[in-house]
Amino acid sequence: MSPIVNFLTKTRDTFQDALDDRRFHATVLEIADLVTASLRGGGKLLTIGNGGSAGDAQHIAGEFVSRLNFDRPPAAAIALTTDTSVITAIGNDYGYEHVFERQVLALGRPGDVLLALSTSGRSPSVLRAMDAARAIGVRIVAFTGATGGSMPERADLCLHAPSDATPLIQQVHITAAHIVCGLVEQNLFPRNAEK
């Protein structure tokens, strides 16, 4: 089997596993409901992750602030992966493991939701941010891989991509995020969706 066919086959099989997993579906719905309630109540979505997950965090925030499926008012979301001055100052002064924690403490408020992405579930910077969110009353959603590392016990809701392979986990994460965003759009802006 060629590398192309092999990767596409693994991708298909991973998505089939997600498709067959009713708990996966239920968790996506619960996450959409949690984010909807937060935004409806004047809260915001904070997104974090490292590497490819940082890119996903930015992508997800962009879908909320701009739009996904139809024109509608912006929804409050901030990717804490984008401010290089803040990230490098915290990394330099306190250590990289604090780069999201301090931003959560500065910007998070009770009623907000933190979406933490980590394919391994073991990233110190992400875990510390989750602990900070818990301490200040921010609800926590985790996107991780099959095992989840240390994320499940820290999260209110934890979505496990059915894989241990980083690229496949990331593909499931961005797809699940698109589903969540689409559901939130429909919940918050039903008249726009009808158009």
Q: Does residue 194 have a pLDDT over 90?
A: no
pLDDT at 98: 98
Domain positions in the chain are 32-187
- Annotated binding-site residues read 50-52, 59, 63, 92-93, 118-120, 123, 170, 178
- Annotated binding-site residues for substrate read 50-52, 63, 92-93, 118-120, 123, 170
pLDDT at 37: 98
Select from 61, 149, 58 the least CA-distant residue to 113. Answer: 61
**Is the model more confident about 194 or about 98?**
98
pLDDT at 1: 74
% of the chain with per-residue pLDDT over 70: 100
Q: Does residue 192 have a pLDDT over 90?
A: no
- Annotated binding-site residues for Zn(2+) read 59, 63, 170, 178
The letter for the amino acid at 22 is: R
Q: How confident is the model at residue 191 (pLDDT cuts 50, 70, 90)?
A: confident
The three state secondary structure string of 103-144 is HHHHHCCCCCEEEEECCCCCCHHHHHHHHHHHHHCCEEEEEE
Q: How large is the average pLDDT for residues 146-162?
A: 98
The class level of CATH for 32-187 reads alpha beta
Q: How confident is the model at residue 193 (pLDDT cuts 50, 70, 90)?
A: confident
Give residue-wise pLDDT tens across range 85-139: 999 999 999 999 999 999 999 999 999 999 999 999 999 999 999 999 999 999 9
pLDDT at 39: 98
pTM of the predicted model, to two decimals?
Answer: 0.96
- Print burial letters for 88-98: b (CB count within 10 Å at least 16), e (below 16): eebeeeeeebb
Sign for the pseudo-dihedral over CA of 66, 36, 51, 2: negative
Average pLDDT of the chain is: 97
Backbone region of residue 103 per phi and psi (left: phi > 0; alpha: psi in -120 to 50; beta: other values): alpha
